[in-house]
């Protein structure tokens, strides 16, 4: 009997509770056994729980190893049913569903089953130890990607940005030929404390507030650089030195140009009325056509003729004349 569609008079049936376990795709071998449970809120006396495969109803068939447990009512609040597929065969591959049916509407939960031949290839279990930890990869079916949770470090937890509750996992793909192929451990912390801290330093942006403190901390960790055990230690330190180099160029403290002179004189504030400075250049008698030479620069970018300057500071008691020369 094909699966009945929802009654057109009503939208899909909404239930306070409705779930099917397992709820995710199942990959199994021929001959395996797979049990299912389905439970929903009991809201009507005519309510039924039915099982379907690819849209067709499934009933108990001992010859096929299929057993359906009739509907059961729990505490007048839940209705449940169970399906067991024993001795799974290739024909069990498909979409299996738990279907709740009432006069007011229907609802369905489904899960896909993939049946593999017992001779299917797989990647063997393998232990991998690297700078991210100790990983024990299980026997994995060909064409499947396996996942393992990252090793939790008791020291330096939370050293990476983000919520510490985030699930960090490494993955490794088993190719169609049954050989381990691509992998990725990038979301896992470094297992070594020093490497982990150097990574943290490397990720921190430098600014005027933290540059000195960061440099001191980096120095403390590099005093015994000869004992670095991971090549990433050297890489992180090199990247940090490069980062400091760029930072000092960008944030270089402003200095007075070498062609600016500064002298200080003590005067009374009440008598200070201002200061005037003049920059001038002596022009040869043979070249008094104007200031065409002013500002001419040599190949190095310097002014090619000497300039003179004069500053006058006036107050009610005296006048200071400051004279100087610069290039």
This prediction has a pTM of 0.41
Distance CA 234, CA 232 (A): 5
Q: What is the DSSP string of 208-231?
A: TTTHHHHHHHHHHHHTTGGG--SH
* Tens of pLDDT, residue by residue, the chain (327 residues): 555 544 445 567 778 888 899 989 998 888 889 999 998 888 888 888 999 999 999 999 998 899 999 878 877 788 889 999 998 988 899 999 999 888 888 888 999 998 887 777 889 999 999 989 899 999 888 888 999 998 766 554 444 444 444 568 999 999 988 999 999 998 998 888 788 888 887 787 777 777 777 778 777 777 777 677 778 878 888 888 777 777 776 666 555 556 666 666 677 777 777 777 777 777 766 655 544 444 455 555 454 456 677 777 665 444 444 444 444
The encoded tokens of residue 20 equal: 């099917």
Which architecture characterizes domain 122-184 according to CATH? Answer: Irregular (4.10)
From 223, 146, 225, 159, select the one nearest 188 (Cα to Cα): 159
CATH, range 18-116: 2.60.40.10
Distance CA 195, CA 148 (A): 22
Domain ranges of the chain: 18-116, 122-184, 193-250, 269-326
Spatial contact of 88 and 28, defined as CB atoms under 8 Å apart: yes
What are the distances in angstroms from CA 253 to CA 212, 241, 248, 249, 263? 14, 19, 8, 9, 21
Spatial contact of 84 and 35, defined as CB atoms under 8 Å apart: yes
Distance CA 94, CA 66 (A): 15
Contacts of 154 (CB under 8 A, 6+ apart): none
**Where are the extended beta strands (E) located within 11-88?**
18-21, 26-29, 34-41, 48-53, 56-58, 66-74, 78-85
User: Could you identify the residue written with the tokens 């004279």?
Assistant: 323
SS3 62: helix
Distance CA 49, CA 129 (A): 49
Q: Answer whether 18-116 and 122-184 agree in fold.
A: no
């Amino acid at each position: 009997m094909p699966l009945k569609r929802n009654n057109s008079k009503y939208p899909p049936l909404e239930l306070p509770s409705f779930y099917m376990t397992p709820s995710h795709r199942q990959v199994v071998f021929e001959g395996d056994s797979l049990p299912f449970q389905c439970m929903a809120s009991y809201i009507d006396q005519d309510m039924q729980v039915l099982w379907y495969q690819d849209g067709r109803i499934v009933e108990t068939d001992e010859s096929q190893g299929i057993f359906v447990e009739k509907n059961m009512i729990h505490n007048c609040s839940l209705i449940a049913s169970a399906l067991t597929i024993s001795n799974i065969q290739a024909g069990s591959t498909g979409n299996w569903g738990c279907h709740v049916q009432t006069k007011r509407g229907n609802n369905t939960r489904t899960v896909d089953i993939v049946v593999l031949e017992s001779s299917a290839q797989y990647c063997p279990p393998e232990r991998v130890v690297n700078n991210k930890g100790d990983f024990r990869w299980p026997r994995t079916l060909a064409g499947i990607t396996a996942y393992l949770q990252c090793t939790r470090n008791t020291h330096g937890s939370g050293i990476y940005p983000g919520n510490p509750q985030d699930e960090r996992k490494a993955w490794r793909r088993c190719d169609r030929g049954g050989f381990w192929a691509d992998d990725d451990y990038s979301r896992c912390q470094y297992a070594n404390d020093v490497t982990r801290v150097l990574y943290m330093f490397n990720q921190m942006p430098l600014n005027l507030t933290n540059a000195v403190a960061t440099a001191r901390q980096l120095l403390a960790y590099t005093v015994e650089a000869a004992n670095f055990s991971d090549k990433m230690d050297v890489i992180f330190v090199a990247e940090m030195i490069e980062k400091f180099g760029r930072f000092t160029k960008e944030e270089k403290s402003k200095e007075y140009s070498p062609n600016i002179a500064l002298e200080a004189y003590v005067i009374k504030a009440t008598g200070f009325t201002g200061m005037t400075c003049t920059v001038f250049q002596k022009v040869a008698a043979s070249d008094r056509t104007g200031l065409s030479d002013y500002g001419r620069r040599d190949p190095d970018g310097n002014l090619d003729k000497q300039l003179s300057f004069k500053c006058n500071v006036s107050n009610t008691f005296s006048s200071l004349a400051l004279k100087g020369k610069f290039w």
